[in-house]
């Protein structure tokens, strides 16, 4: 059995069209616990940011603009995250995201590899979004469209 040396960290932000407690957001809010439970049960899932005493991160305001929600998760692989985002019930949120969230001119998702066992924090996540915005996809911060392999795969392939 191969010991996992790296996991994939993912930060994703979304700008709310209206506050979470408005009728316009009711469909989105109603799905949060169910969609988080799907992630929690996924064998490729490792960890997700949660507000203190809560089961989600919707009360965390990591940015000056209080309309911005943040999701920070860790996955065993890029494939596991892709399966969750696009092939689970999470895909319905992706299809409907324009109902609830404004389009941003900044990157709203960044991925990066972390040593297994490391828990990323909000400052690290914000830094990765900034790296992606400044430099595009690099091994330090990349997108689904231009991913980089896990460092342990690069080492294995070079050996």
> Hunting for tokens 């001119």 — which residue is that?
105
Q: How far is it, in rounded angstroms, from Cα 73 to Cα 70?
A: 10
* Residue 14: per-residue pLDDT: 96
* Residue 80: per-residue pLDDT: 95
Residues with Cβ within 8 Å of residue 113, at least 6 apart in sequence: 6, 7, 8, 9, 139, 148, 150, 151
* Residue 1: per-residue pLDDT: 46
Q: How far is it, in rounded angstroms, from Cα 140 to Cα 159?
A: 22
In our burial notation (b when 16+ CB lie closer than 10 A, e otherwise), range 7-42 reads: bbbbbbbbbbeeebeeeebeebeeeeeebbeebeeb
Closest C-alpha to 74, from 113, 18, 103, 131: 113
* Residue 95: per-residue pLDDT: 77
Sign (positive or negative) of CA dihedral 4, 135, 95, 26: positive
Beta strand pairing call for 68-75 and 45-48: antiparallel
Cα 3 to Cα 7, 49, 87, distances in angstroms: 11, 24, 26
Q: Are 140 and 105 in contact (CB under 8 A)?
A: no
pTM as predicted: 0.91
Q: Are 85 and 147 in contact (CB under 8 A)?
A: no
Q: How far is it, in rounded angstroms, from Cα 142 to Cα 158?
A: 21
Task: Tell me which of 1.10.730.10, 3.10.20.30, 3.90.480.20, 3.30.70.100 is the CATH number of domain 6-158.
Answer: 3.30.70.100
- Residue 44 pLDDT greater than 90, yes or no: yes
Mean pLDDT over 34-55 rounds to 94
Listed by start position, the domains of the chain span 6-158
- Residue 94 pLDDT greater than 90, yes or no: no
């Amino acid at each position: 059995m191969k010991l996992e040396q790296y996991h994939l960290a993912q930060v994703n932000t979304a700008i709310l069209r209206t506050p979470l407690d408005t009728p316009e957001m009711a469909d989105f809010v109603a799905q949060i616990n169910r969609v988080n439970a799907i992630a929690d049960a996924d064998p490729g899932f490792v960890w997700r940011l949660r507000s203190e005493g809560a089961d989600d991160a919707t009360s965390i305001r990591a940015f000056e603009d209080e309309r911005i929600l943040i999701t920070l998760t860790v996955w065993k692989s890029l494939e596991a995250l892709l399966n969750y985002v696009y092939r689970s019930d999470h895909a319905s949120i992706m299809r409907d995201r324009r109902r609830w969230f404004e389009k941003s001119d900044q990157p709203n998702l960044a991925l990066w590899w972390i040593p297994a066992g490391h828990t990323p924090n909000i400052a690290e996540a914000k830094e990765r979004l900034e790296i992606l915005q400044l430099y595009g996809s690099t091994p330090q911060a990349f997108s689904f469209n231009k991913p980089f392999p896990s460092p342990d795969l690069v080492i294995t392939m070079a050996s």
